Chains A and B, each alone.
Chain A
Amino acid sequence: MFVPLVVVGGLLFGFGLGLSHMARPEVVLDFLQFRDFGLLFVLGVGSVVAGTAFAIGVRFLDRAPLTGRPYARRLKSFDRNVLTGGVIFGVGWGISGICPGAAYASLGVGNYPILLAIGGMFLGAYAQGLWRSRTGDDASAPTASD
Chain B
Amino acid sequence: MEPLVTFTDLFPNGVWRYAVGGALIGLGTAVIYLGTAIPAGASTFLESTLSYVSTVPRFNRAKYVASRDWRVAFTLSIVAGAAIYALAFGDFGWTTRVSWWRLLGGGLLVGVGTRVGKGCTSGHGICGVGSVAPTSLVNVLTFLGVAILTAQLMQAAGVTP
Residues B138 and A78 in contact, CB atoms below 8 Å apart: yes
Which of under 10, 10 to 19, 20 to 34, or 35 or more describes the interface residues of B? 35 or more
Majority-rule SS of A interface residues: helix
Known: A20-B25, A121-B110. A43 touches B79 (CB 8 A): no
Of A7, A46, A120, A133, the residue contacting B106 (CB under 8 A) is A120
The interface residues of chain A lying within 8 Å CB-to-CB of B27 are: 12, 16, 49
CA distance A51 to B125 in the complex (A): 11
Chain B residues 61 to 83 lying within 8 A of chain A, measured CB to CB, are 61-63, 67, 69-70, 73-83
Residues A92 and B110 in contact, CB atoms below 8 Å apart: yes
Of A26, A37, A47, A138, the residue contacting B130 (CB under 8 A) is A47
CA distance A85 to B127 in the complex (A): 17
Residues B25 and A17 in contact, CB atoms below 8 Å apart: yes
Residues B58 and A132 in contact, CB atoms below 8 Å apart: yes
The interface residues of chain A lying within 8 Å CB-to-CB of B107 are: 92, 96, 98, 103, 116-121, 123-124
Chain B residues 101 to 125 lying within 8 A of chain A, measured CB to CB, are 102-125
Residue B12 at the chain A interface, CB threshold 8 Å = yes
Of A6, A10, A86, the residue contacting B142 (CB under 8 A) is A86
Which of under 10, 10 to 19, 20 to 34, or 35 or more describes the interface residues of A? 35 or more
Residues A129 and B115 in contact, CB atoms below 8 Å apart: yes
Residues A100 and B43 in contact, CB atoms below 8 Å apart: yes
* In the complex, number of A-B residue pairs with CB atoms less than 8 Å apart: 549
Residues B116 and A5 in contact, CB atoms below 8 Å apart: no
Known: A54-B33, A125-B114, A128-B115. A12 touches B81 (CB 8 A): yes
Residues B102 and A96 in contact, CB atoms below 8 Å apart: yes
Residues A15 and B85 in contact, CB atoms below 8 Å apart: yes
Residues A14 and B111 in contact, CB atoms below 8 Å apart: no
Closest B residue by C-beta to A4: B73
Closest A residue by C-beta to B118: A76
The interface residues of chain A lying within 8 Å CB-to-CB of B125 are: 43, 46-47
Residue B20 at the chain A interface, CB threshold 8 Å = yes
Interface residues of B (CB under 8 A from A): 10-15, 17-47, 49-50, 54, 56-59, 61-63, 67, 69-70, 73-86, 89, 91-98, 100, 102-136, 138-155, 161
Q: List 13 A-B contacts (CB under 8 A).
A: A8-B77, A12-B25, A47-B130, A49-B25, A76-B133, A78-B138, A92-B109, A110-B83, A113-B103, A114-B96, A121-B111, A146-B63, A146-B123
Interface residues of A (CB under 8 A from B): 1-3, 5-26, 29, 32-54, 56-57, 61, 63-67, 69-78, 81-114, 116-130, 132-133, 138, 140, 142-143, 145-146
- 8 more contacts with CB within 8 A, not counting A121-B110, A122-B111, are A3-B73, A19-B24, A21-B17, A46-B25, A47-B130, A84-B116, A95-B150, A97-B106
